[in-house]
A = this chain, B = another copy of it.
Amino acid sequence: MSQNPILKSLIAEQLVSDPGSARGRLLTEAARLFRDKGYERTTVRDLAAAVGIQSGSLFHHFRTKEEILKAVMVETIRLNTALMQAAADQAESPRGKLKALVRAELESINGQTGEAMAVLVYEWRSLSEGSRAEVLELRDIYEGLWLSVLEELSGKGQLKAEPFIVRRMLTGALSWTVTWYKPERGGLTLDGLTEQVMAMMGL
């Protein structure tokens, strides 16, 4: 269970819960349950059982069930914004930056944070109006990262469609991979998938 340095610094800043802490463990399990069964079909009793406590004890850590959903989303975006930023920073060319972003997002979606990323996509409606605004603000930062790279590419004439459209297509296409992509020995790797995505865009 090695933790990467980006996660570590976010934990230190208290922006993300330590997966080893009680709160962190609950959020991890919640993401898994929300993804598998859906938010509404996941009961507070399910959540409590997943971390080995009584259902009432949950409300010592979170005021409501919805607050758990919001925490899953907020922490996921925070972590992934940092991961994307780091990935993009390591590349030189605009094309390299885009490829790094695609690769990093595929990893987020299909790797360890996959459950939480799926929750972000599929459980949006389950959030109350107020929480949505809060999460949206964070999401705007995340999207800004993508757009700046895409606009740079577009400025150099390397994009075949408008940046904001390309981003939205990519959002759908990449998040959908969670429903079908399964890494197998000798099969399609995440790198291979990244290549296919880039190739599809003629890049």
Contacts and interface: CB of A to CB of B under 8 A. Distances in A.
A160 B174 CA distance: 17
A62 interface: no
A161 interface: yes
Interface stretch (A51-59, A129-137, A192-200): A192-200
* Integer count of this chain's copies in the complex: 2
A193 B170 CA distance: 14
Contact of A175 (B37, B165, B172): B172
Interface in A139-185: 160-162, 165-166, 168-177, 180
A63 interface: no
A67 interface: no
Nearest to A162: B196
A106 to B, nearest CB: 12
Interface residues of A, number: 32
Contact of A125 (B38, B161, B177, B200): B38
B168 A177 contact: yes
A176 B168 contact: yes
A85 interface: no
A41 interface: yes
Contacts of A162: 196
Contacts of A177: 168, 172
A81 B175 CA distance: 24
A40 interface: yes
A199 B40 contact: no
B169 A200 contact: yes
Contacts of A165: 188, 193, 196, 200
Which 5 residue pairs are nearest across A and B when measured between Cβ atoms? A172-B176, A40-B40, A169-B173, A172-B172, A172-B173
